Structure 1
Amino acid sequence: MSTQTGQVEADTTVTAFDTLTPRIIQFQGKRSCIRLEDVYWNILEDAAREKKLKFNELVHSYYHDPRGERNKTAFLRCQAVEWLSGQVEAAHEQLHLKNSELHSILKVTVQPAFVFSKMQSVSRHNQGFHDWIKEHIGARAGAMDQSKLRVSFRRSYTALMDLLDENNGSILNEQVTILMPGYVFPIRINLVKLDSSNDQDQLFLGIINPGE
């Protein structure tokens, strides 16, 4: 950013990658202080939960370095990225298997509807949803990239799942926001949890309420 005197001001915006959080981790029985960005710690914690391991057990399952020569911080970052990449690939495979089923669901749904995953990205939508978006943004809807559509909730994801479980997998009139580059659409939808054999790739059907 330039000032009136022509000087350039430093960008002081803090991101998730600017702060390092230290943790004491055991590598092959030896304790080490590792400093990592929170985003990597969070991914590794998700990996441990998915594998039903304690955090140090997860590290032990990954790490094998008899001479102790590996950079432990870089190693953990690589493991986090590798696990996350595997999750994305598995989600794509699971979604591919469900394509025909999802297509049928959307085809018979008259109201604007869309399918989205636990990651809250829209993976499928029907013509009614496309038309609904077009009403809001006009001609640009023709080039709509559904991979960039995101859904955010008024409730936390955990609270939402608890509410769905309490109501046999469906919620009426839930407040959500559809996000896409340059546009924000606050709406209310009827939300249905679709059957899934993999909780890590849970799919949901959102049906926009009439009049929204």
Structure 2
Amino acid sequence: MFTGIVQAVGRIQRRDPRGEDMRLWIAAGDLDLTGVRLGDSIAVNGVCLTAVELTADAFAADVSVETLRLTSLGDLGEGDALNLELALTLQTPLGGHLVSGHVDGLGEVVSRRPAGRSEVWRFRAPEGLARYIAAKGSITVDGVSLTVNGVDGAEFEVNLVPHTLEVTRLGQLRPGSRVNLEVDIIARYLERLLTAGGTGGQGVTREFLEAHGFGRVPGSK
């Protein structure tokens, strides 16, 4: 798990094809790799990858053909910037929201415009993800935890403050750039609960809630 608070911006050092898969060597930038061990998870542009080789200032991770196809990692080449975050620990402040590192789909930057010292960005999500995105809810864009300002069909807007633009790769993106999106994990589980999962196939209905004690006055039968 991660928080969506980017800890450093790294860069792709090398791409080593392994059949249809790829081994990426990533320069870690200011990310402290001191406590990282082989097999540890690192979020790379919001994609949870496993460190399979380590040096003092870089790590390698294997990326499957499926991940290359479904995320923006397949678009990037040597020298391109990457948002990096180490896995969450029990001592890590939860400054963003709970992020799994499992990308739900590819979005696109639609526009960016000034708003005081900040910028308002508009993104377009795949149609199948739009229903999980809500105003004032959380969403992860290339590994960055953001608050949704508004939703218009499959498009949504966020406000990016100067700090976020400076310390992540988002400031380098332009309209048309593809980004990795991960919706709030709570929305995923809530949909599953409301439709059928865990409720005997009937979804959450008034009858289901009453049968399980919701709305019942304490001490009543």
What TM-score, normalized to structure 1?
0.24
What TM-score, normalized to structure 2?
0.23
Higher strand share: 2
Higher helix share: 1
